[in-house]
């Protein structure tokens, strides 16, 4: 039925053209943004997942920075510890050389030992990075606080967030502790028994040049083979060597702990970067547009749009043919 009130063909062509135009707009948006899901209305579930994972990736980027900062702190402490080990070896050599020497020779050697002791303190005090010093501390009470390095950002299946840390036990690696009341002093300033080299909280100063007394203690930071006009006896020097050797063993253990912490930080940093890359790939699979597919679709829709315009023109033109029925 031909009607001038309702042009069904034109309405159908218009609907088809509008649908094509909407699809074309969607495809053009995907091509211009590079995203198949760029807003919640495109796909609410995928958009929510992608937004959360992007946020987590930004947090992990901060974790990576924290690991880099932590690695620098540990590196600084290790450098100081390594230099201190070299210096304490030199002190051990000076003590060995002074054994059996005259008082005059011991007096000269003491000058060298004192200089090396100052160097040890200088190494420890200088091993500071970003305000953190693990070798020279000042514990008010109890034990020195651990240095905590943020190593991971974790999100559970319920959505709760937690942080993991790599803890460096400063109490076990500190060389000096100038605090008011620490439970234990540092490796170099703690009192050690001359008989075994074991650390003790009960200091008993020896009488320089006198006989060896049970319970005499020495500290690597303050031991002296000559004071005033008196030189240490060979028996006392032997005890000092025992103390220095015990401290050297503790420092070697401390350096090993620092090395292990640095290794853990490096491994975690590599893992964090790999995890961030994996999340980027996963998010991309959810929301990125396939540009090859979209470009092909764009060309097809442009052809459909042209055909739709042509079809609408033809449908509108069909109404004009009714006029010919009324011509005489």
Query: Is residue 322 predicted with pLDDT exceeding 70?
Result: no
Would you say 153 and 163 are in contact if contact means Cβ atoms under 8 Å apart?
A: yes
Tell me, what's the pLDDT at 326? Answer: 66
Would you list the domain boundaries of the chain?
A: 44-287
More confident position, 50 or 298: 50
pTM: 0.80
| Residue 98, C-beta contacts closer than 8 angstroms, at least 6 positions apart | 105, 106, 109, 225, 237
List, as one string, the DSSP characters of 200-257.
ESS-----TTS---TT-EE-TTT--SEETTEE--HHHHHHHHHHHHHHHHHHHHHHHH
Output 316-323 pairs: Cβ under 8 A, ≥24 positions apart: 316/7, 316/10, 318/7, 318/9, 318/10, 319/4, 319/7, 319/10, 322/2, 322/4
What is the per-residue pLDDT across 305-320, written as a single tens digit (0 to 9) for each?
888 788 777 777 766 6
Cα three-residue angle 310-311-313, rounded to 5 degrees:
65
- Name the CATH superfamily, with its identifier, for domain 44-287: f41 fragment of flagellin, N-terminal domain (1.20.1330.10)
> pLDDT per residue over 138-197, tens digit each?
998 889 999 999 999 988 888 889 999 999 999 999 999 998 888 899 999 999 999 999
* 234-287 helix and 44-98 helix, angle to the nearest 10 degrees: 170
pLDDT top residue among 76 and 301: 76
pLDDT tens-digit map of 7-58:
677 777 788 878 888 888 778 877 887 888 888 888 898 888 888 888 889 9
């Amino acid at each position: 039925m031909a009607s001038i009130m309702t042009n069904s063909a034109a309405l159908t062509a218009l609907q088809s053209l509008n649908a094509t135009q909407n699809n074309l707009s969607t495809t053009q948006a995907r091509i211009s943004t590079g995203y198949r899901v760029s807003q919640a209305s495109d796909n609410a579930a995928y958009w929510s997942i992608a937004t959360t994972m992007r946020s987590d990736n930004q947090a992990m980027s901060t974790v990576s920075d924290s690991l880099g900062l932590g690695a620098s702190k540990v590196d600084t402490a290790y450098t100081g510890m390594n230099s201190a080990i070299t210096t304490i070896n030199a002190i051990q050599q000076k003590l060995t050389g002074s054994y059996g020497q005259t008082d005059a020779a011991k007096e000269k050697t003491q000058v060298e030992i004192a200089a090396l002791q100052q160097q040890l303190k200088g190494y420890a005090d200088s091993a500071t990075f970003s305000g953190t010093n693990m070798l020279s501390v000042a514990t008010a009470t109890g034990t020195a606080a651990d240095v905590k390095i943020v190593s991971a950002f974790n999100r559970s299946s319920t959505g709760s967030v937690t942080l993991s840390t790599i803890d460096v036990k400063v109490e076990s690696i500190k060389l000096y502790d100038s605090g008011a009341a620490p439970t234990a002093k540092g490796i170099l300033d703690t009192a050690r028994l001359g008989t075994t080299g074991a650390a003790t909280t009960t200091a008993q100063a020896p009488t320089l040049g006198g006989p060896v007394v049970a319970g005499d203690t020495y500290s690597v930071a303050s031991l002296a083979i000559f004071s005033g006009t008196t030189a240490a006896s060979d028996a006392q020097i032997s005890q000092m060597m025992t103390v220095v050797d015990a401290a050297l063993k503790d420092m070697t253990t401390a350096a090993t702990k620092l090395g292990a912490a640095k290794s853990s930080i490096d491994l975690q940093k590599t893992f964090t970067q790999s995890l961030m890359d994996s999340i980027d790939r996963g998010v991309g699979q959810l929301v990125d547009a396939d540009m090859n597919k979209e470009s092909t679709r764009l060309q097809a829709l442009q052809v459909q749009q042209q055909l739709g315009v042509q079809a609408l023109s033809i449908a509108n033109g069909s109404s004009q043919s009714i006029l010919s029925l009324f011509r005489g």
